[in-house]
């Protein structure tokens, strides 16, 4: 059975990693304290090389935007950590016969750098990154591509585990996958159709999967 996993704030704590990196960056450039919040606000949902064209101007930095992007990619990749128990849970799913894949929106270089730096990459049968696939969650074609990376098709069935109600849950449901929402202390928004399962964190989510038939 296939289980696709979102990466940011599902398997790894991107929010904390970004905050750590931004603090260090602001210190290293002796920028004013408020630069920290400006960077985190700008990059809170996603980060692309174009963001550093704007941040360079706003923060009066002399670096080339592409150098700032590379510094960000390397810095954030080494600042993010897996949520406790995530790695062990994924290993247990593999041992139990699950096919597991990454289904993440983002630029290829940053998403792959995070997967490599956290040591998660070798655990997966397939990795699908929107910046490389040319299509993003919540589009059905993205989930098709993610399943194909794992050597499977959507009509083989499977699960999507993620933290985003729209891109992860509604998207995967529309693509015919079962859906598991990692709540992380939030309430499910009433505006969206409920997922098949809700877990408080990634360990709980993997626990539910392990109770399913493979």
* Chain residues that interact with Mg ion, rule: CB under 5 A: 6, 8-9, 163
Nearer to Mg ion among residue 8 and residue 109 (C-beta): 8
- In the complex with Mg ion, the residue whose CB is nearer, 35 or 142, is 142
Q: What is the nearest approach in angstroms of Mg ion to the Cβ of residue 62?
A: 33
18 or 26, CB closer to Mg ion?
18
Nearer to Mg ion, 11 or 147 (CB): 11
In angstroms, the first-to-last Cα distance of the chain is 5
Minimum CB–partner distance for residue 209 and Mg ion (Å): 17
Whole-number minimum distance, CB 197 to Mg ion, in Å?
17
Reference 99, options 148, 144, 150; nearest CA is 150
Measured distance CA(31)–CA(115) in Å, rounded: 30
Residue 202 contacts residue 89 (beta carbons within 8 Å): yes
Q: How far apart are CA 88 and CA 86, in angstroms?
A: 6
Give least dist CB 12 to Mg ion, A: 9
In whole angstroms, what is the distance from residue 179 CA to residue 162 CA? Answer: 8
DSSP state of 167: I
């Amino acid at each position: 059975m296939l289980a696709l996993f979102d990466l940011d704030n599902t398997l790894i704590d991107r929010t904390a990693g970004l905050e750590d990196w931004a603090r260090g960056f602001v210190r290293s450039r002796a920028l004013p304290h408020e630069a920290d919040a400006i960077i985190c606000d700008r990059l809170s949902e996603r980060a692309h090389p174009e963001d550093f064209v704007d941040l360079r101007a706003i923060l009066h930095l002399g670096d080339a935007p592409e150098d700032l992007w590379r510094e960000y990619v390397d810095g954030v990749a080494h600042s993010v950590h897996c949520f406790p128990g995530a790695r062990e849970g994924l290993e247990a799913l593999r041992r139990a016969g699950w096919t597991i894949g990454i289904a993440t929106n983002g630029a290829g270089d940053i998403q792959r750098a995070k997967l490599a730096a956290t040591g998660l990459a070798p655990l997966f049968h397939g990795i699908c990154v929107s910046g490389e696939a040319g299509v993003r969650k919540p589009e059905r074609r993205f989930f098709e591509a993610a399943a194909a990376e794992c050597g499977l098709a959507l009509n083989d069935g499977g699960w999507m585990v993620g933290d985003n109600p729209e891109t992860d849950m509604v998207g995967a449901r529309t693509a015919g996958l079962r859906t598991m929402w990692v709540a992380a202390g939030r309430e499910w928004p009433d505006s969206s159709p409920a997922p098949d399962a809700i877990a408080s964190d990634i360990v709980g989510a993997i626990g539910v999967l392990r109770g399913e038939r493979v």
